[in-house]
Amino acid sequence: MSRSPISIIALLGLLACGGGGFEGQLVDGLNNDAPLAGQTIVAKALGQVRMTCQQITGTTDEQGHFTINGLCMKETAYRLSVTDETLFLGDVDEIPQGGAGALVVLRAWHAPVGSGVYMLSGGELNPIPTHADLEEEEIYRTGEMVLFPKSVPEPVPTVGVGDHLVITGKDNLAQLSLHPLIRSERRRFGTKDQWVEMAPWYYMSTRFTSDTEFERVNVDVASEHVTEMEKGDHAARFLGSAALPAGLYVLSREGGRRAHVIQFGQPEPAEDAEEK
C-alpha cells in the first residue's frame, strides 16, 4: 500500500518529536480540589519546535481529567494555561522537558487578570460594583470625624457559606481595606453652634455610646480563611465567609469616596430603619 507524501512527512514529524504526552487533572484550588469539567487546557511549547507540536489542547471530563498527546517533550518544556480567562493556574503551570513522569494535578483559581472586586459563588465569578458614596461628619463637639456610606444597596452582596470575596490586581491588594459598618441610633453631629441630626445609620469603624462618646473598631480578619495567590500577571486575595465576623463591611481605599458595601455571613433580621 502506498502512502501520500503528506502522510509520510506527518509520520516522520511525529516520530522526530517522540509523540510525547501526559495526563492531568484540573481541580478547584478553593473548593477542596473539586474537579473542573469542560475546561480546555492549552500546552504551549517554550522552545522552538515543529508546528505540529507547538501548541496542543485537551479538554477535561466530569472528573477534571484530560490527556494531551503529540508533544515534543524531548525537545522542549511546555507552559500550561486554561482558555477560560477567569481561571489561572497556581503552583503548577509547566511540564518540564522530558515529560511529567506522573499524573499532573493542576490547581486553578478563579480570578481574571486586572484589578477588580468579585463575588465567587457556586463556581461563578461576578463583579461587585462600587455602589456607595462615602460622606463625612464631625462627631459632635469632639473635632473627630466619622465616615459613613450615603446609602446601603438592596440587596447587599453577601459572602455566604462556601462563597468568597475575590480582590484582584496588585494595586487593589495594596490599597483596598475592609472596615466594619456599625449601626447606631439617632446621633447629633457637628459643633455646638452648627449641628445636624441623623436617623439610625451605619458608621465606618466607629461604635457610638452617645453623641460624644465612641470607640474606633478595627477589622478582625481570620487569616486561616484568607488565601492569596500570585502568578505572572495574576494577583488575587480570596476571603471566605468565615474570614470576618458576621456583619456589614465597607471595602475602600484610604481617602477614597467610593466604596463597596459587603455582608459577611448571615445578615441580621431586617429592622424598620428610618431614612437619614
pLDDT at 253: 95
What radius of gyration, in Å, describes the C-alpha atoms of the chain?
27
Cβ within 8 Å of residue 136, ≥6 positions away: 145, 146, 147, 148
Question: Which residues of the chain, if any, have pLDDT below 70?
Answer: 1-19, 268-276
Buried b / exposed e along 197-222 (16+ C-beta atoms within 10 A)? ebeebbbbbbebeebeebeeeeeeee
| Percent of the residues in the chain that have a pLDDT greater than 70, as a whole number | 89
How confident is the model over 173-190, as pLDDT tens digits? 999 999 999 999 999 999
DSSP letter, residue 154: S
Cell numbers given for 99:
515529560
pLDDT at 178: 97
pLDDT at 109: 95
pLDDT at 9: 32
**pTM of structure:** 0.86
CA atoms of 243 and 276, how far apart (whole Å): 30
Cell match 467610593: residue?
Answer: 258
CATH superfamily of 5-110: Immunoglobulins (2.60.40.10)
CA atoms of 116 and 168, how far apart (whole Å): 5
**Residue 10 DSSP SS3:** helix
Instruction: Tell me the domain boundaries of the chain.
Output: 5-110, 116-264
Closest CA to 260 of 142, 170, 135, 134: 134
How confident is the model over 120-158, as pLDDT tens digits? 999 899 999 988 999 999 999 999 999 999 999 999 999
